[in-house]
Amino acid sequence: MLGLQALFFYIFAFIAVGSALGVVFSKNPVHSVLFLILTFVAAAGLFLLAGAEFLALILIVVYVGAVAILFLFVVMMLDLDFGRMKVRALEYAPIGAIIGVVLLAELIIAVTGSYYNPQPAVVTALPMPPLEAVSNIQALGGVLYTRYILFFQLAGLILFVAMIGAIVLTLRHKEGLKRQSIPQQVARTPATAIEVVKVESGKGI
């Protein structure tokens, strides 16, 4: 049984790493979002192998079923000039390089463990009940929706505002298209709604 778990671990790990590289190096943004969905599915499999079924379900239901699909619809519906965006991407290369170096340093420190070795607290304020009595889903749900319910709702509100802001900043209306204005239609009167055209006899319209 242990060998089977190790086999599935390596399968999900290779899929997660490969799809994550596909997200970064894919030239088509739609393909990047599809690779991101595959990354979430592989990460959910890893969480399931680790016994964290709650996090696995959250990745599938929330990230794959909602967030990634929303990204896919936004990328497909917005008419963005990706060629011009790629040209301007070189302007932000130094900032991206700095962030990459910082993330690489954090990964090296976390893997080596020689500089960062935290000690677990002996006494915790909210000790977790034994797994025989309460599952990890019940324990996480009890903490998340009771003590941290305000932070949970604030995080959802911040994501919602960020989504609206991204759509407003990137949406561009095409010129020459007729659009419907409900207030303008409601405010119309017979004097503005009807136009009487006088046609000379024998010429027609």
Instruction: Say if CB 15 and CB 38 are below 8 A apart.
Output: yes
Find, among 75, 85, 86, the residue nearest to 167 by Cα: 75
Contacts (Cβ under 8 Å, ≥6 apart) of 110: 116
Q: CA–CA separation, 57 vs 59, rounded Å?
A: 5
Question: Angle at which helices 69-77 and 29-49 pack, to 10 degrees?
Answer: 180
Confidence of residue 102 (pLDDT cuts 50, 70, 90): very high
Say how far residue 131 (Cα) sits from the centre of its chain: 32
Which pLDDT tens digit goes with each residue over 141-188? 777 788 888 988 998 899 888 888 877 777 777 777 777 778 888 888
Which pLDDT tens digit goes with each residue over 35-70? 988 999 999 999 888 887 888 888 888 888 877 877
- The four Cα atoms 94, 70, 56, 24 give a dihedral, to 10 degrees, of -30
Structure tokens at 89: 């991407």
pLDDT of residue 16: 92
Has residue 114 got a pLDDT over 60? no
Structure tokens at 166: 């991204």
Q: CA–CA separation, 44 vs 31, rounded Å?
A: 20
The model scores a pTM over 0.85: no
Instruction: Say if CB 79 and CB 172 are below 8 A apart.
Output: yes
Q: CA–CA separation, 48 vs 81, rounded Å?
A: 40
Q: CA–CA separation, 99 vs 103, rounded Å?
A: 6
